[in-house]
Amino acid sequence: MNKIRDNQEWANLLNALNGGFVSSGLGADPAYADVLPTGMNFYGANPKKMPTKAAWETAKKIADQLLNDYYKKHGKFPETIGMIMWGTELLRTDAIAIAEFLYILGVQPEWNDNGDVQSIPKLIALENLTINIDGVTLQRPRIDVFTTAVTGNEIWINLMNNAVKLAAEAPGETNDQNYVKKHLSENGSLDRVFGLRGLVLEGTGISDLVPNTSKWGTSNELASVYLSRVSYAWRTTDNGVSIQQNRNTFQYLLGNMDLVTQTIDSTWRLLDTDDYYDWFGGMLLASQNLGGNPDAILADIRNKNNVITRTVTEEVELEMRSQLLNPNYQDSLLGTASGWMEYASRYENLFGIQATTGCVSNQMWTLAAQNLLSDRFTATTDFQAYSTQSMLGWVIEASRRGMWQADPQLLTSLKDKYMELVNEYGVSCCHHTCGNVDFNQYMVVGSSLSTAQLQQFAGVLYAATGEAVSVGTTGQTGQVGQSNGPTNTGQTSSTGQTSGGSSSPGTVSPGDVSVAQETSTSAEQGTTGEGNAYEVSEAGQQSSGQSSMPIVAIVGVLILVGLVGFGYFRNSILGFFKR
């Protein structure tokens, strides 16, 4: 048989080189598809055959495991599940996620003899919807499910819409047996496939806004962008797919969502890209802002014979320990300039995950911060300095917003290292550094650097951005206004620091902040040494904070401004302070 196949491959190769016709055949991923390329003129995927029978069997395992986990935790089945689907992932896996969508509804695909999937699926009898939990077989209800689907494939959209309609019309079932029916009676719409307003290559808006830290203050702002962008229902009509905004139903489903899930089928994971916090994080955040409290579960399907489900918190910790904090992983990236930039992007994505899901524990933030103080991040080149500044910026910004309850001494070390790098190499102008004046004002709070070093930092920043940072007469290691520990109130204190714990994503609304100098002569007044402490105050206190600034500091700033105005800029300023 192998000899015949080899002969056919050679014959097809010679035929193709002679300009002849070679029959086409599927050349999909053998890990998921029943395919072995044999010299055919292959194509990568055939959506007409998706989900395949093999994908269907895997999808049932995934759905059962998700329901098993939820039932063990809550003692009941979820009523509503939200799913995130990406077109490339569907193609790679023969549409496992779509099969999962159908099975949750209690509907199964129907295949033609040639393997094509029929547009109208088949209803699974309610008595056949069973699940084994700790050796006990239970009958489960039809569970409502909706998705944000990054695909415009009409075949898939029709299949999912038809499945929802079939489940809603299941005869003789009560609302307790059929949650699709229950929610239809409450909301009146069967829209369950949502996405962007059309076939556009853009995200939810979350990943565009989060890095621009000066442009948003609360999670409500992020959720609002998400809801406005993704609340378009993709409906099946006789004339093709119709796209109409249905924010009312989308918000109803999000507010009542019990579980949000997404499959991970490759090594491309949460910290590797902003797409996960853009879509998965966006759905979770929007649900929480609408009063929901869903479980957040990721299904690792890289081995279809051993599906692993993890909470987002567990997944983030796994990725941080196995990659971000792993010396071998670090060495693989930190040998080149592009590797440094790639490694630094993981810190940005870590911040994005926290801003949208609140799943990064205080311990993991501390480890991520301590990592940046190690010898590996002693910059000797400009690209190393700029990458390290960016990473330091993300952990410090997490502290500023109350996402991370930092140890005061650790936070001081981070700020000092950041400003020392700026003074030596210049500022790395990222959205969250140069572009955020409040961040730079927060940077000088509690620093242990000398007045000259702080003024040098202010000068370099002003030369790059034209924005002035107010500094006092001395540095300080004390953290006035820094929260001493996490609470769950989620309220913003008068100093601009949140009192919310790390489990609350984006709870802080920093607003405009300034540095107000407070005179203190003892550690009991909030300092750890002699000199002045610095406190972050709200914008309303800005004028009083600035008016209390020492004359010496004001004169110093004016001198720096004058130097810049006469054209000395960065090199001249640095040379002035080094002298």
**Model confidence at 562, in pLDDT bands (50, 70, 90)?**
low
576 pLDDT higher than 60: no
- List phi, psi (to 5°) of 120: -105, 115
Please give the Cα distance from 196 to 200 (Å, whole number). Answer: 7
| Per-residue pLDDT band at 480 (split at 50, 70, 90) | very low
| Average pLDDT estimate for 495-502 | 35
Q: For residues 180-191, give the mean pLDDT.
A: 98
Angle value at C-alpha 310, between 332 and 502, nearest 5 degrees: 85
The secondary structure of 302-345, three-state, reads: CCCCCCEEEEHHHHHHHHHHHHHCCHHHHHHHCCCHHHHHHHHH
How close are the terminal C-alpha atoms of the chain, in Å?
82
- pLDDT of residue 565 exceeding 60, the answer is no
| pLDDT at residue number 37 | 57
Q: What is the mean pLDDT of residues 301-330?
A: 94
Lowest mean pLDDT among 201-205, 323-327, 520-524: 520-524
> Positive or negative, the Cα torsion across 277, 295, 269, 107?
negative
pLDDT above 90 for 13: no
pLDDT given at position 569:
41
169-192 burial: b if 16+ Cβ within 10 Å, else e? ebeebeeebbbbbbbbeebebbbb
Judged against a pLDDT cut of 90, whether residue 339 lies above it is answered with yes
Rounded CA separation 225/206 (Å): 7
Say whether pLDDT at 6 is over 50. yes
- Say whether pLDDT at 315 is over 90: yes
Number of other CB atoms surrounding residue 143 within 10 Å:
25
In this predicted structure, the answer to whether residue 10 has a pLDDT above a threshold of 90 is no
Judge whether 146 and 84 are in contact, CB under 8 Å: no
On average, the pLDDT of the chain sits at 83
User: For residue 538, is pLDDT > 80?
Assistant: no
Give residue 304's pLDDT band: very low, low, confident or very high (50, 70, 90). Answer: confident
Mean pLDDT across 544-571: 46
Say how far apart CA 93 and CA 473 lie, in whole Å: 61
β-strands 295-300, 514-519: how paired?
unpaired
Cβ contacts of residue 185 below 8 Å, gap of 6+? 175
Whether residue 566 is predicted with pLDDT greater than 90 in this model: the reply is no
pLDDT bin (cut points 50, 70, 90) of residue 31 is low
**Mean pLDDT, rounded, for 497-514:** 35
pLDDT of 515 over the 60 cut: no
Q: Find the farthest-apart pair of alpha carbons in the chain and give their distance in angstroms, rounded.
A: 92
Q: Is the pLDDT of residue 496 over 50?
A: no
Range with lowest mean pLDDT among 104-108, 344-348, 419-423, 532-536:
532-536
How far, in Å, CA of 365 to CA of 384, rounded?
21
In 3D space, the residue among 445, 429, 337 whose CA is nearest the CA of residue 390 turns out to be: 429
In 188-274, which residue ranges form alpha helices assigned H by DSSP?
Answer: 206-209, 219-230, 247-255
Of all residues in the chain, the percent with pLDDT exceeding 70 is 77
Contact 450, 475 (CB under 8 A): yes
* Amino acid found at 80: T
d(CA 409, CA 399): 13
Least confident of 288-302, 500-514, 556-570: 500-514
Residue 449 has pLDDT above 70, yes or no: yes
Q: How far apart are CA 541 and CA 546, in angstroms?
A: 9
CA distance 265 to 21: 35
Q: What is the mean pLDDT of residues 243-254?
A: 98
What pLDDT is stored for residue 11 in this prediction?
Answer: 81
